[in-house]
Structure 1
Amino acid sequence: MRQVFDGEAAVTPTSTTSALDSGPTLGIVDPVRARDSFALARVEPASDLADLVDWHWVISWDLPPGVAFTQTVMPHPVGHVVAEREGLLAYAMPAGLFVRTLTGSGAVVGTKLHPGAYRALLGRADPGERGTVEPAAFLGPTAARANEEAVAQAAAEPDAAVRTLTPLLREAAERSRTARSTAALTGLREAFAVIADAVPGTSVAALAGALGTTPRSLQRLFADWVGVSPKWVLQRHRVHLAAELLGRDPDLDLAGLAAAVGYYDQAHFTGDFVRAVGVPPGEYARTCRRGARQRA
């Protein structure tokens, strides 16, 4: 079973608190139900990997016999490296919604990379075909043993699981870093920081102006290293924010929400939301409302 989950803010995990209860859950569809089905710990990367690694995430679950839980995730424009039962796998940016069903008990240890870092860490000449999953052979011959140890540690000791994998990532980074990749990742970090703080409805031209570059140069940077356009990222950021806000308060006025995240009309908002989440915002709000009532 292959699973990828990601959120939007790193927090230090504890043995008793899931990050689903203590931080933003951008990307996790219906986070209320998720809280009752699996635990999520987020771990900061080692300082010498912070240019490539956004954070590490550790998912663990223990469901009763005969019970299954299906989780949907809206992907971010990044790749992941994941330790799971099948081995260490490298995931390029997903091609669409990521859906996985959990049964029984288990754990996975993931590394969420920065935009562009999938290409940089794997030493590729391109950002990778969206949806591709392949063995993480770039981590070397000791990867299988480290994977087994990390998965065994994950549920009880998420920090230890991450420490087990960190030397492999460090060695791969030392082999693959180049002046070109360093410059590209720096430019992308600046772009994504501006996107995160941008006024809703910001255009690609405005984003390029804030970064002191041209729209064409910005589009080329994203195409070469991320695999999607700046316009795609701006739109996806708005939908992630809208879904997060609805998850917190399913009774929000949808027209007001659309305007708040940068849409001039509700029809365009609904269309983008359906493409990203799989259901209209009204249906998503009802699902979140039911989950909140059941949990109460």
Structure 2
Amino acid sequence: MPAGLPRPSLGVMNLQGGEKRFKLSRIAASDALSLFVKHYWIVSWDCTDKEPYLQHVVPNPCVNLVVEPQKTLIFGPSTRKFSYPIHGKGVVFGVKFKPGGFYPFLNQPVSTLLDHPLEVQNILDLSGPELERDILSLGTEQEMAAVMDRLLLSKLPQPDEQVLLVNRIIDFIAGEREISKVDQVCEHVGMHIRKLQRLFDQYVGISPKWVIRLYRLQNAAETMDRRLPVDLARLSMELGYHDQPHFSKDFKAVVGCTPEEYRRSVEES
């Protein structure tokens, strides 16, 4: 990464400001899991003598297994911003599956997880409290990742070509900022819209339309996170919106504030 540029936030809003309060690490999973798992993530903090801080995350089309004291669950993709209060001292370990990468473990439409988190014993051979004990008691992040590697490898599914297809489609959506309509995706991959919608319902959990919207809003937030002068009208056009009011409406619906309010919060952090 070029010197001076912030590292990719991957949906963590105002990551530069947040990392004054917490540490975020990302660790690659075992090579054998690379088809299914994007990375492991670990957030740790010690804010014992500091004011509580609310960290916001733009949703993305990934399933996350989150290991947290008394809250360990598997969460499907969401269409709403997630906010996490940072206070006291703590650590959370997560598995971020690739888009479509959790379906081979689940073997039922990932859309069933929308607003219905799954207990980890449905996938692994231990309960949430047992997983918390085995992961969060360890001294290093590498040890945590090694334990999760072993657990997931014991349940390793057969390779699934559809997972590769889903990731190619989502990489296209994420990389082409001007993509704003499902028809553009269908044309690129040569797939009828109904087939694409069924594929996303089964493997991703949210619709192609929502995936496009979330990536465009993530692009917008990351642009403002750079703390450079931003022409919001021009940015909305660059992200495929026909007008700034439509862009602002979508941004507020997902992020919870207008682009102007978000830009001010970044500048003040």
The normalised TM-score by structure 2 is 0.90
Matched, 1:245 2:223: yes
8 Å Cα contact 1:79/1:90 also seen in 2: yes
1:130 aligns with 2:108: no
Single out whichever of 49-58 and 122-131 deviates more from structure 2.
122-131
Say if 2:13 and 2:56, in contact at 8 Å, map to a contact too: yes
Q: Does 1:256 align with 2:241?
A: no
2:146 aligned with 1:168: no
Is contact 1:80-1:112 (8 Å) kept? yes
- Counterpart contact for 1:258–1:266, Cα < 8 Å: yes
Which residue in the other structure is 2:86 paired with?
102
Q: Distance in 2 between matches of 1:31 and 1:202?
A: 25
Cα distance between partner residues in 2 of 1:272 and 1:146 = 37
- The alpha-carbon deviation at position 213 of structure 1 amounts to 1.8
Aligned residues: 265
- 1:202-228, Cα deviation, whole Å (9 max, x unpaired): 432221121122222111111222222
Aligned residue in 2 for 1:207: 185
Of 136, 139, 144 in structure 2, the residue corresponding to residue 151 of structure 1 is 136
Aligned residue number for residue 76 of structure 1 = 60
> Which residue of structure 2 lines up, in the alignment, with residue 193 of structure 1?
171
> How far, CA to CA, are the matches of 2:50 and 2:6 in structure 1?
29
The runs of at least 4 consecutive aligned structure 1 residues that moved more than 4 Å come to: 142-146
2-side partners of 1:226 and 1:172: how far apart?
A: 20
Cα 1:152–1:276 shift into 2, 3 Å: same
Give deviations 1:81-126, integer Å, cap 9, x for gaps.
Answer: 1222226421122352211212211111100011122332233354
CA apart distance, 1:184:
2.4
In the TM superposition, what is the alpha-carbon distance from 1:142 to its structure 2 partner? 7.9
Q: For 2:265 and 2:165, how far apart are their aligned partners in 1?
A: 39
Give the CA RMSD over aligned residues.
Answer: 2.2
Do the aligned residues in 2 keep the contact of 1:258 with 1:269 (CA within 8 Å)? yes
1:183 to partner: Cα distance: 3.0
Match of 1:60 among 41, 44, 49: 44
Alignment of 1:172-187 (within 5 A): 172-174=155-157, 177=158, 182-187=160-165
Instruction: Give 1:132 deviation, angstroms.
Output: 2.1
Structure 2 equivalent of residue 90 of structure 1? 74
Name the structure 2 match of 1:284.
262
Cα pair distance change 1:95/1:267, threshold 3 Å: closer
Percent identity reads 27
Quick one: which amino acid aligns to residue 26 of structure 2?
R
The structure-2 alpha-carbon separation of the partners of 1:249 and 1:171, relative to structure 1 and needing over 3 Å to count, comes to: same
Shift of 1:149: 3.3
Amino acid at match of 1:197: G
Quick check: 1:49–1:170 contact (8 Å CA) kept in 2? yes
Q: 1:25 to 1:69 in 2, by over 3 A?
A: same
Corresponding position of 1:7? none
Is contact 1:143-1:168 (8 Å) kept?
A: no
Q: Hey, what's the Cα distance between the residues in 1 that align with 2:181 and 2:79?
A: 24
Corresponding residue for residue 50 of structure 1 = 34
Alpha-carbon distance in structure 2 between the residues aligned to 1:87 and 1:285: 32
Instruction: State the SS of the aligned residue for 1:213.
Output: coil
* Aligned 8 A contact 1:95 1:131 in 2: no
C-alpha contact 1:119 1:127 (8 A) present in aligned 2: no
Kindly indicate whether residue 7 of structure 2 is the aligned counterpart of residue 23 of structure 1.
yes
* CA–CA distance in structure 1, aligned partners of residues 220 and 32 of structure 2: 34
* Amino acid in structure 2 at the alignment position of 1:150: I
2:116 alignment partner AA: T
List gaps (5 residues or longer) in structure 2.
none
Q: What SS is found at the alignment partner of 2:54? A: strand
Scaled by the length of structure 1, the TM-score of the pair is: 0.82
Unaligned runs of 5+ in 1: 1-10, 12-20, 292-296
| Higher relative contact order, structure no. (Cα contacts within 8 Å, ≥ 6 residues apart) | 2
What is the identity, as a one-letter code, of the residue corresponding to 1:113? F
